[in-house]
Amino acid sequence: MSAPNDAPQSELRSALDQRSKRRRIGLIAGIGAAALIAGGAVVAVNLAGAGEATADVAAAGDTVHLKVASSGESSLNDAVQEVAAEHGVEIEWVNFTDDWTLPNTALVAGEVDANAFQHSAFLSAFNTENDAELVPVVSTVIVEWGIFSSKLTDLDELPDGARIVIPDDPANGGRALGILAAAGLIEVDPAAGIYPTPDDVTDNPKGLEFVPIKALTIPQQLDDPTVDAVVVGTSYFDPSQGITAEDALYLDDALADNSLPYVNFIATTPERADDAVWETLREVYQDPRVQAGLDEDSHGASVIVDLDPAKLQDKLTELEDFARANG
């Protein structure tokens, strides 16, 4: 039997480790280049990934303009916009704050060039329900989710018949039920896959009542006296609420293999999937300033993840096939 520290890593943890390694290599290369310049020799050093050349669209002196739909203003988006401009990509964020379907419908309609707000679980549901073919091209972040309460300090205090607020969309509602199951509060029919609904709960010993509402509005329900707990991403809370991962009664493992459907990404249409600009944006998201912007938004509870777009597409296709077969 292998020792625990010899156990294979999940793809997400491996990707995060590789990203850290590349950043260390880049730092060493930068120090070396500085030393050469100081000695009178000027050497151009360009590292991307494991030594691959950066697909910098600014190399020819041109500027690429992109309209990218988002779910709202953020320090992360500000940082991406700043760093992308240095690489010849001018991003215009188009924010949709009330309805998560709008960034996708805007992309399908050609009103924007891409969007950056969703994961495979959400996009697979949209694509199958709307006969769309949007595709992921750049992995961005994964958000840690958990169970939060303003009344309780431990899950054991959860009373019988407690009212639990969960997202009302299939992807995030399913994730919330999965977290409640992982916490040992309920059991869910495995045949439901990643899209379980309250109807798929097969065991509910405490008789929990599930209250589905729009995910973006869940943080505002935390102090509702009729609500016992909420299940939502840690980054969804407004900074003024002062809620961090440390306040969760239970946290999911954001880097486990079963979290792959919840890696956020930039999506576009199939016709633009091979544009060189996406490789540039993949590099942009590896800039430390982008992680700093994300840290400001999420209190350090979210991380930048660099995955091969083919892996994202494989997962999306798998989820779409499941949705069609069980729709």
Task: Provide the number of structural domains found in the chain.
Answer: 2
Q: What is the pTM of this model?
A: 0.74
CA 306 to chain CA centroid, nearest Å: 11
DSSP string, 2-67: --GGGSPPPHHHHHHHHHHHHHHHHHHHHHHHHHHHHTT-------BTTTBPP--GGGGT--EEEE
Residues 279, 302 within the same domain: yes
Write down the pLDDT at residue 25: 36
Write down the pLDDT at residue 327: 67
Residues 284, 232 within the same domain: no
CATH code, domain carrying 246: 3.40.190.10
Q: Which of 230, 253, 276 finishes a domain?
A: 253
Beta strand 145-148 with 229-233 is: antiparallel
23: in domain = no
Mean pLDDT of the chain: 83
CA 164 to chain CA centroid, nearest Å: 23
- For residue 319, the enclosing domain spans 57-140+258-326
Residues 270, 128 within the same domain: yes
Write down the pLDDT at residue 11: 59
101: in domain = yes
Q: Which of 237, 253, 269 finishes a domain?
A: 253
Write down the pLDDT at residue 29: 33
34: in domain = no
Write down the pLDDT at residue 244: 87
Q: Which of 253, 269, 284 finishes a domain?
A: 253
CA terminus-to-terminus distance, the chain: 41
Residues 150, 246 within the same domain: yes
Write down the pLDDT at residue 3: 40
Residues 127, 275 within the same domain: yes
pLDDT mean for each 10 residues of the chain (327 residues): 45 54 39 30 26 46 90 93 97 90 96 96 94 97 93 96 96 94 96 92 98 94 97 87 90 81 96 96 96 86 90 94 84
Write down the pLDDT at residue 204: 98
31: in domain = no
Residues 313, 177 within the same domain: no
Write down the pLDDT at residue 17: 55
* Rounded Cα distance, 5 and 48, in Å: 29
